[in-house]
Structure 1
């Protein structure tokens, strides 16, 4: 304490100047600048390199996918391509019969045989083919050596680029009546077995052909999803004592679940589309009863028998059912908390 005669410390006078407003205070009292809206010309000038790169693909989609959908009007006509002088006049002058083609289609037993074969093959491949790319991707991802992984990937990807003619020819050489399997059975004193002409095993045959051709290509998407999983999760789980199977169940499969759901929805949307080339090449060998699917049914009705309206009605039926299936599967995925094909509204 300082006495009366001592010069004590004097407190500094209080600063009564108003506090300077901070950055937030200045921003609160000022109207944010309004960005000028870009015109269409500005956007085209800015994005023309991207538009130029996507133009060829857009033209292909327009010419080969969107414009042909206009031909669905044939499903409601007694279409005659020889009416008029050009295809447009054939569309305009063919007789409109409403749903007559669909009525004829739904009472045709050959159509329902094709639907039954298509759904049976789809269900069989969904159970025995769809999981295989997932398993292959997990196995490839577990390979430590990058060289071995690259070699295996190249080997399993290569058959995807073979045409179905080559694939079917390869299986004929292996499993046909004069193929390698039949020759080995003859040398062993057994009755040779021609798998390629047996209608009872046709569904297994086409599934095996699809697996051999496309299982490696189907694993690409799952490998990309596996690379997005944080490796620290595996290290933390291993440090906590989790084994390989527990890490697979609790880390790998949950990381793949969005991709699995998406591809499963897309596959359900193609439930009535199992392919054309693969079946048209083997239809005569095993018979129509086993190998007739919707794609070949449309071909034979529209091209071979020239029942254009009936074939178009079958194709439109297939497209509508596929759309309903993909929307329903997407709705179910949303109910279970998954993203699906598009975000929920």
Structure 2
């Protein structure tokens, strides 16, 4: 068993724990030519810049807004799909629907962004349909700031909801069928059986996934956002992940970018610990 655990352990040591040592540059005015040892120490000045910069404050607002939208609209969809699939009695139809909703997960964000661009560009399928049906002029969907966040959330729902359904279906598979039979004998209709048997069966899974999601509340996924950004929506679409890339890679401000990333990680840790304690107060097991 230890041999099976070893590859994953090595992965986390090499790519998660050892790189943490590089976080020291968040407290330095780091220069690649001077290295970790000889770069000037500046204490918490890089962290002070986070709240002193209007750009960073706007980026944090964008990040939180998008995360809350994802939690409010994208997070419940796998639960709803799992509940719907759990009520399907035709095994062939159920497996067919499962396969269809799982497939987008295996597409890269590059492909997903390309599909969305093809559909929503000025000469795309959506504008062609609107023009043929209603005679409208081409709408620049990808250049309208108000539409950026809804498009990103809908992309996430389409791509990842089917994969997230697997976890909840696995939880529902452990429900004793005799509970449904007993409830049916007692006269409970389908909605009652869902409310009193199905939902309690996935409650602990829901709580654990929500706690883990709160830990990533400042993490919107770099690749998806980066691929959808353009100068027209940059003010509302630039989030911490892309901001760190622009500052750290394109502008070579390594120390400040590291400070922003470290700040994001600390906030995520605090949210996980807080949500876990709150879950325990409500009688759930939590993640530890």
The TM-score, its normalising length taken from structure 1, stands at 0.81
Query: What is the aligned counterpart of 1:234 among 166, 180, 186?
Result: 180
Which 4+ runs in 1 deviate beyond 6 A? none
1:285 to partner: Cα distance = 5.1
> What's 1:64 paired with?
15
Distance across 1 between alignment mates of 2:84 and 2:232: 36
Q: What per-residue deviation string (whole Å, max 9, x for no partner) do you get for residues 259-294 of structure 1?
A: 011111111111100110011112125432111001
* 8 Å contact from structure 1 (residues 333, 339) kept in 2: yes
Shift of 1:53: 2.3
Aligned partner of 1:127 among 72, 80, 93:
72
**Separation in 2 of the partners of 1:300 and 1:82?**
21
Within-5 A mapping of 1:101-250: 101-187=46-132, 188-250=134-196
Q: Secondary structure at the residue paired with 2:230?
A: helix
Give the equivalent residue in structure 2 for 1:278.
Answer: 224
- C-alpha offsets along residues 18-42 of structure 1, whole Å, 9 cap, x if unaligned? xxxxxxxxxxxxxxxxxxxxxxxxx
Distance 2:216 2:147 in 1: 23
CA contact (8 A) 1:202 1:286 kept: no
The 10-residue stretch of structure 1 (284-293 or 303-312) with the greater mean CA deviation from structure 2? 284-293
Alignment of 1:283-322 (within 5 A): 283-284=229-230, 286-322=232-268
> Could you tell me whether the CA contact under 8 Å between 2:144 and 2:233 is conserved in 1?
no
Q: Which residue of 2 aligns with 1:12?
A: none
Distance 2:232 2:84 in 1: 36
Alpha-carbon separation, structure 1, partners of 2:8 and 2:286: 25
**Per-residue deviation, residues 186-213 of structure 1 (Å, max 9, x unmatched):** 3342122222221111111000000010
Q: Comparing both chains, which one has the higher relative contact order based on Cα–Cα distances under 8 Å and sequence gaps of 6 or more?
A: 2
TM-score, normalisation: structure 2: 0.97
Question: Can you give the 5+ residue segments of structure 2 that lack an aligned partner in the other structure?
Answer: none
Question: Where does residue 77 of structure 1 map in the other structure?
Answer: 28
Tell me which structure has the larger Cα radius of gyration.
Answer: 1
Q: Is the 8 A contact 1:196 1:285 kept in 2?
A: no
Q: Contact 1:177 / 1:196 at 8 angstroms: preserved in 2?
A: no
User: Structure 1: how far apart are the matches of 2:3 and 2:205?
Assistant: 30
CA distance in 2, matches of 1:268, 1:104: 25
Distance in structure 1 (CA, Å) of the matches to 2:116 and 2:158:
10
Compute the displacement of 1:326 (Å): 0.6
Structure 1 gaps of 5+ residues are 1-49, 84-89
Alpha-carbon separation, structure 1, partners of 2:177 and 2:51: 54
For the residues of structure 2 that align with 1:148 and 1:71, how far apart are their CA atoms? 51
SS in 2 for 1:284: coil
Cα pair 2:148 2:233 within 8 Å, conserved: no
**Structure in which a larger fraction of residues adopt helix:** 2
1:265 aligned partner: 211
In the alignment, does 2:53 pair up with 1:53? no
SS of 1:274's equivalent?
A: coil
Aligned to 1:330: 276
Aligned to 1:96: 41
Q: CA deviation at 1:77?
A: 0.5
Provide the aligned length of Structure 1 versus Structure 2. 287
The C-alpha deviation readout for 1:96-133, integer Å capped at 9, x for no partner, is 11001111221011111111001101111111111110
Q: CA RMSD in A?
A: 1.1
